[in-house]
Structure 1
Amino acid sequence: MTDASNINYFTEAGSVEAVNARVGDETNPRLREVMESLVRHLHAFAKDVHLTQEEWGVAIDFLTRTGKMCDGNRQEFILLSDVLGLSMLVDAINNRRPSGATENTVLGPFHVEGAPVRAMGDEISLDGKGESCLFEGRVLALDGKPVAGAKLDVWCDNAEGYYDVQQPDIQPKWNNRGVFVTGADGTYAFRGIRPVSYPIPDDGPVGQMLGALGRHPNRPAHMHFIVSADGYETVITHTFVADDKWLTSDAVFGVKSSLLTKMEPGESGDTIWKSNFDFVLNAVRKD
C-alpha cells in the first residue's frame, strides 16, 4: 500500500514542490535547473498578485494571439521579449566585457546576411533620400592598437523609418547596408544618411499591451553595427543619435550611454552630417 504521507499532492502552499517533484531523475541537469527555477518564480508571481481566473484567461488569450502573429517575416514573441527588457537582459548577461570595451545591444529583426562588401568610403544609401552623413572612426583593441582586417557589417532604416526588407517593392535591394573591412590603421568610413527614429510594429498584441501600459512603441534613431575580427569578441551594437527625443524611453531598452554619438556638421558640401565613433574590441580568452 502506498504511504499517502509521502505523496506530494498539490496544495496552494506546496505547489512548487508538487510540480518540481515530477521532474524525472534522468532529466538533463541544465534543463532541470532552468525549469525548476521557472516553476518557482512563476508560482511566486501568481501568489504575489493573487492572479484571478479571469486574468489567467486573458493571459492565455494574449499568448495565443501573439503566437498567431508569428511567421517567417515577423516574430511577435521576440517583440514581446524586447519590450519587457528580457532581450536586453539576456544580451547583457552573455556579453559582459571589461571597462573600455564597446558594449553590445540587441541585434534587431532586420539584419540580413550577405550584404555587399564595399570599398572604404562608399555610399550605402541607394534611394537618394535623407540627410547625408559620413560615418567614420577606428576599430581598436583595448590597448589602443588598431585592429586590421576588422569587418563592419552596417545597416539602418531609410529616411522614412523603414528598412529595405520591409519595403522590397519600394526600396532598392541592399539599401542602407554594406560591409567594410579595415586596413592596417584600423580606420573605417562610409557614407549613408542620418538615421531617423521609428516605431516597432504595434498593430498586434504587443502593441496593444504597450498602449494599455501607457507606453509608446518608438525607437530612437540609430545605426546598426556588427564588428568582428579574428582573435576578438564580436560586437553587435548600435550607435545612437545623441539628441534623439526617444533616447530615455527606447521601447526595447537598447540604449546605453556609451553608445551615443553626436551628429556634427559635415565638412563638405555633399555631406550634411558627420558621426565619429571608435569601436574597442575585447580579445578572445585563450584557455
Structure 2
Amino acid sequence: MDFTVETATDAVVDSFRETKDQRLRQIMESLTRHLHDFVRDIEPTLEEWEAAIGFLTEVGHKCDDTRQEFVLLSDVLGVSMLVETMNGSEEGTESTVLGPFHMTESPRRELGDSIDLLGTGRPCVVSGRVLAADGTPLPDTELDVWQCNEEGFYDVQQPDVQPPGNGRGLFRTDGEGRFWFRTVVPSHYPIPTDGPVGRLLQATGRHPYRPAHIHFIANADGRRAVTTHTFVAGGPYIDSDAVFAVKSGLITEFSESHEEQDAERFGVTAPFTHARFDMVLAPEAEGTR
C-alpha cells in the first residue's frame, strides 16, 4: 500500500499490531491518530515542522538535574493540571502540579523547625492537620514541603545566594496528625523564561507568573498520596496562574497573629504570620498495594 495522506494513519496504526503490552498499544494507536489529525488540520510546511522538532530538541537540552523544561512545557499547556485533575480523588484534598523545581531531595526536619535558612523577613508559621475523610487524624504522614523565598526564587535557582535545602523540608505528622513549621511568606514569581518555554509564552502574549504558594506532597500508609499547594490569599496572579494550578479550596489566609501564647508555642515572636492548612487523604485505590 502506498503511503499517502489518506492511508498514512492506518499504516502507522497497523505497525503496532504486534505490541504485546495492550496499554502501550492503545496509547500508541491513539497518539498516532490524534497527531495525524493535528498535522492534517494545521498543514505545516516543512520549515514549520523542522522548527517544531527544533523546539522540542531545545526543550530537552534545557533539562538538567535542577531544571525540567519538559515539565514546564506540560505545565504551561495545562496538561499537567489536566492529568492531575483526572487522577484526583473527590474524597481528598485537591491535587495540583508538581512543578519544575521538585528536583532535589528535601532535608528531613523535625516539627517546628524552620525551612528558612536565611532568617530574613517576618516569621511565618504554617500549621495544620492531615486527616482521613471522616476526620480521623493520620499520624506519621510524610510531608514533603518546598517553596521559593520572599523574592520569588528557589534554592536551585540561586546556588550562590541560598544554601541547598533552603525552603525545603521533609516532616512527619505527630500522633494527632498535626504538623507545623516555620518559614517566610513566599512571593509570586515568574516561571523560568530563559528557555524555549519562556519564548513560547512571549510569542503568544502570555505572562509567566505564578501566584505565591507552598508545595506539599502528603503520603501516608493506606492512603492515596496527594501533590498539592496552599496559595496565599489575595496575592497577585491568583486568578491567572501561568500553569493553571489554582483551585479555590487551596487558597489560604496568611494572617497576622498577635497571640503571644501561639508565638511561644511555635518558637517565634509576635506579631507573626500564621497560615492554617489541613489536608485530607483518600483511601488507597483497590489493587494499588
TM normalised by structure 2 equals 0.89
Aligned residues of 2:72 and 2:99 also touching (Cα < 8 A)? no
SS across alignment from 1:249: coil
Report deviation, 1:225: 1.0
Report deviation, 1:210: 0.4
1:92-103 equivalence runs, <5 A: 92-93=85-86, 95-99=87-91, 101-103=92-94
Letter in 1 for 2:109: V
Name the counterpart of 2:74.
81
Name the counterpart of 1:211.
202
SS across alignment from 2:258: strand
SS across alignment from 1:61: helix
Cα pair distance change 1:68/1:181, threshold 3 Å: closer
Moved over 6 A (4+): none
Aligned residues of 1:133 and 1:271 also touching (Cα < 8 A)? no
Name the counterpart of 1:196.
187
Cα pair distance change 1:107/1:26, threshold 3 Å: closer
* Distance in 1, Cα, partners of 2:94 & 2:248: 10
Aligned residues of 1:153 and 1:227 also touching (Cα < 8 A)? yes
Letter in 1 for 2:125: L
* Distance in 1, Cα, partners of 2:16 & 2:10: 10
Name the counterpart of 1:29.
22
Aligned residues of 2:140 and 2:175 also touching (Cα < 8 A)? yes
Report deviation, 1:272: 2.9
Aligned residues of 2:151 and 2:186 also touching (Cα < 8 A)? no
1:1-12 equivalence runs, <5 A: 7=1, 9-12=2-5
Structure with max Cα Rg: 1
TM normalised by structure 1 equals 0.89
Letter in 2 for 1:261: T
2:118 equivalent among 127, 142, 146: 127
Letter in 2 for 1:195: P
Determine if the alignment matches structure 1 residue 68 to structure 2 residue 99.
Answer: no
2:84 equivalent among 84, 91, 95: 91
2:138 equivalent among 147, 172, 194: 147
Report the count of equivalent residues: 277
1:220 equivalent among 204, 211, 236: 211
Report deviation, 1:264: 1.3
* Distance in 1, Cα, partners of 2:181 & 2:254: 15
* Distance in 1, Cα, partners of 2:275 & 2:137: 19
1:235-272 superposed Cα distances (whole Å, 9 cap, x missing partner): 11110112122122211122112111112112244443
1:145-174 superposed Cα distances (whole Å, 9 cap, x missing partner): 111222222121111111122222221332
* Distance in 2, Cα, partners of 1:34 & 1:245: 39
* Distance in 1, Cα, partners of 2:59 & 2:138: 43
SS across alignment from 1:145: coil
Report deviation, 1:207: 0.6
Determine if the alignment matches structure 1 residue 58 to structure 2 residue 39.
Answer: no
SS across alignment from 2:181: strand
SS across alignment from 2:273: strand
SS across alignment from 1:226: strand
Specify every segment of 5 or more residues in structure 1 that has no aligned partner in the other structure, as ranges.
Answer: 1-6
SS across alignment from 1:67: helix
Report deviation, 1:190: 1.4
Letter in 1 for 2:41: D
SS across alignment from 2:284: coil
Aligned residues of 2:142 and 2:219 also touching (Cα < 8 A)? yes
Report deviation, 1:130: 3.0
Identity of matched residues, %: 51
Q: CA RMSD in A?
A: 1.9
